[in-house]
Amino acid sequence: MIQGKKIFITGGAGFIANTLIGNLIGDNQIVAYDNFHRDTLTGSAFGKHPNLTIVRGDVLDPDLLTKSMEGADIVVHAAAIAGIDTVVKDPVKTMRVNMLGTANALEAARINGMSERFIDFSTSEVFGSKAYRVSEEQETVSGSVGEARWVYAVSKLAGEHLAHAYFKQYGLRTVTVRPFNVYGPGQTGEGAMQTFIQRALNNETIYITGDGSQIRAWCYVDDFVEALMLCLECPEAVGHSFNIGNARAVITILGLAQTVCRVLGSKSEIVFRPPLSADIAVRIPSVEKADEVLGFKAKVDLEEGVARTAEYFRQLPA
């Protein structure tokens, strides 16, 4: 149980942060630091909570970041440029925000003497284009230079190495998480799951990039945030990286579109489009380390997660 702490969250206006804030805000002081490139927070149930302080700031502004972090017991560094379309359109910004932003956040935590936990967000993309039941010990892979998609993985991997370096060299209590396709209420951006659900709810055409044979494992956000809570609480987590996902909720992208339509009773047509960039054929985690060290097991199956996410989008004001 985390109580009476000051918790500083970069990317605090984002999707995953929003569910995390919901878990922590009753008993802790939260500072959400975000440049509002995306915004789940404003319309959420906690946007005006008395325990929440919002700082509009950029992780590329080290002075404001360091000053705003003063007195934090815990830092959750979730700010990043994510989403394949955004990454491909702006690879320079992606590298700068993800790499330099993480360097700034780690240094700010060190300067402020942050004592309990620094959570770093990496990505499952560090395992490259064929990631079948990948474990943390497996080698990380990056595709060819010049292929914009890999900018995201490389920038996140650099941040992950830096987080481990801060742990080794300065004793900063870092934990890195590698999310595998997290989805759920509050998600924004261009990811397949919320796009499919929103289009299915309106009986609009669902577009699939590629032939739909790409395989993914889908992790509901409540499960993911439970793993984050364990990373904050469990002393053995410090200095480690964890794959966090649901290795049983595995399906092709075409299968996902069909499942969404079936679960929501949608009449959407499914249409295929050429891919924008290199794609990942298969991405399924091994989550044994998270189970052994943290005691984490994902609970929400795909159909239940789709139904709960759709309920959220149904209730959003038009």
Ligand X SMILES: NC(=O)c1ccc[n+]([C@@H]2O[C@H](COP(=O)([O-])OP(=O)(O)OC[C@H]3O[C@@H](n4cnc5c(N)ncnc54)[C@H](O)[C@@H]3O)[C@@H](O)[C@H]2O)c1
State yes or no: residue 11 binds ligand X (CB under 6 A). Answer: yes
State yes or no: residue 245 binds ligand X (CB under 6 A). Answer: no
Decide: 231 and 294 in contact? Cβ < 8 Å. Answer: yes
Q: Which stretch binds ligand X (CB under 6 A): 14-22, 256-264, 283-291, 308-316?
A: 14-22
Min dist. Cβ of residue 246 to ligand X (A): 11
Residue number with CB closer to ligand X (14 or 261): 14
Q: 253 CB contacts (<8 Å, ≥6 apart)?
A: 192, 208, 210, 212, 213, 214, 216
Residues from 189 through 228 that contact ligand X (CB under 6 A)? 189
Min dist. Cβ of residue 266 to ligand X (A): 23
Among residues 167, 16, 7, 143, the alpha carbon closest in space to that of 78 is found at: 16
State yes or no: residue 185 binds ligand X (CB under 6 A). Answer: no
Min dist. Cβ of residue 235 to ligand X (A): 23
Residue number with CB closer to ligand X (153 or 206): 153
- CA 268 – CA 131 distance, rounded (Å): 30
Choose which of 7, 81, 131, 200 interacts with ligand X (CB under 6 A).
81
Residue number with CB closer to ligand X (179 or 285): 179
Residue number with CB closer to ligand X (179 or 264): 179
Q: How far is CA 244 from CA 1, 232, 290, 291, in A?
A: 20, 14, 7, 10
Residue number with CB closer to ligand X (269 or 286): 286
State yes or no: residue 172 binds ligand X (CB under 6 A). Answer: no
Min dist. Cβ of residue 267 to ligand X (A): 28
Min dist. Cβ of residue 86 to ligand X (A): 9
State yes or no: residue 107 binds ligand X (CB under 6 A). Answer: no
Contact set with ligand X (CB under 6 A): 10-11, 13-17, 34-38, 58-60, 78-82, 97, 101, 121, 123, 179, 181-182, 188-189
